[in-house]
Amino acid sequence: MEKRTVVCLGELLIDFVPEISGLPLAKVETFRKAAGGAPANVAAAVARLGGKARFIGKVGRDPFGAFLREALAEAGVEPALVETDEARTGLAFVSLRDDGERDFLFYREPAADMLLRKEDVKEAWLGDAAVFHFGSVSLIAEPCRSATMDAARRARARGALVSYDPNVRLPLWTSADYARRVILDQLPFADIVKVSEEEVGFLYGGASAEDGARLMLGAGPRCVVVTLGAAGSRVFTRAGELAAPTVRVDAIDTTGAGDGFVGGLLWRLADAGVGAARLEEAFADPSFAGEALRFANAVGALATTKRGAIPALPTRPEVERRLAGEA
């Protein structure tokens, strides 16, 4: 079987996004509902670029769960969703500051996505995975934590490249120390890890991107990618490193930049048939690595030019036109 599917697992929730930016949450009067959740955004990014993507998660048997199923399908993602009566679909209220950054208020105590169990994840959802991608929100509590780790192990055993984006959301954790420990504990289970520069600082006591990436590589992954916002990104392997610039954009809403970046990178790896065994070799080739990072950077950059995560994701021709314009 040809394996080209990017399979993402984790949280799927409703983001209530304000109609007007620049106000604190207490002052916002009207919110628009949008599909949210980092791993779901990554799946949508892959699908938007023309790749095959599946999202595995749990929603409530409620109208918001039905909305999310439809939103995934509309984004071109295969919804591999389990419905539950045990809890409702999770909610997050988001406020957009004038600088494009966000504040969050979560309603998930518990939310349906946190109740995903090992046995919910069907073999058929993992068998055709070229890449299996997960984040850290699904590692916060049981039973979802075991379900995530078990699915990553199963996908890897079947030949998938395992990708991990810690995506630190501190308000969801009981303490910063606990978050750091759980997030770092997962490194050995991943082949490729994506972190932002701020996350490296948080995880390793203020370490630079370079020092943090080297420490991460020591824990097991073959490849660490650090995103630097408007300064682009850097990839590190045991063999070396490479930096790539991003394209210039007027950022309106940074929601989904990191997820768009990850989607772009994973789509390139899946499309080129780069599995775990070839990952270091692929990134040691400056022409492949530079092109893959520039592509992923452009996806992340374009994702900031419209409101919301999924509606802002670019198609492959849009990315290529933008890159050709910068050349």
Q: Does 284 bind ligand ADP (CB under 6 A)?
A: no
Residues 220-239: x where in contact with ligand ADP by CB under 6 A, - otherwise, as a string = -------xxxx-xx------
Please report, as residue ranges, which positions from 171 to 210 form the binding site for ligand ADP (by CB under 6 A). 196
Q: Does 51 bind ligand ADP (CB under 6 A)?
A: no
Catalytic, out of 165, 191, 253, 259: 259
**For the chain, what is the radius of gyration of the CA atoms?**
18
Shortest CB 65 distance to ligand ADP, Å: 26
SS (H, E, C) 15-75: EEEECCCCCCHHHCCCEEEEEECHHHHHHHHHHHCCCCEEEEEEEECCHHHHHHHHHHHHC
Shortest CB 110 distance to ligand ADP, Å: 25
Shortest CB 10 distance to ligand ADP, Å: 15
CB atoms within 10 A of CB 63: 10
User: CA 300, 302, 305, 310 torsion: positive or negative?
Assistant: negative
Q: H-helix or E-strand containing 116?
A: none
Q: How far separated are the first and last CA of the chain, in Å rounded?
A: 38
DSSP bridge pairs for 243:
234
Q: Does 258 bind ligand ADP (CB under 6 A)?
A: yes
Query: Residues 59, 91: contact at Cβ < 8 Å?
Result: no
Q: Binders of ligand ADP: how many residues, by CB under 6 A?
A: 18
Please report, as residue ranges, which positions from 105 to 164 form the binding site for ligand ADP (by CB under 6 A). none
259 is known as an active-site residue: yes
Give the range of 215-223, 246-254, 281-289, 319-327 binding ligand ADP by CB under 6 A.
Answer: 246-254
For the annotated catalytic residues, the residue numbers are: 259
Which parts of this chain interact with ligand ADP (CB under 6 A)? Answer: 196, 227-230, 232-233, 246, 249, 251, 254, 257-258, 261, 297, 300-301, 304
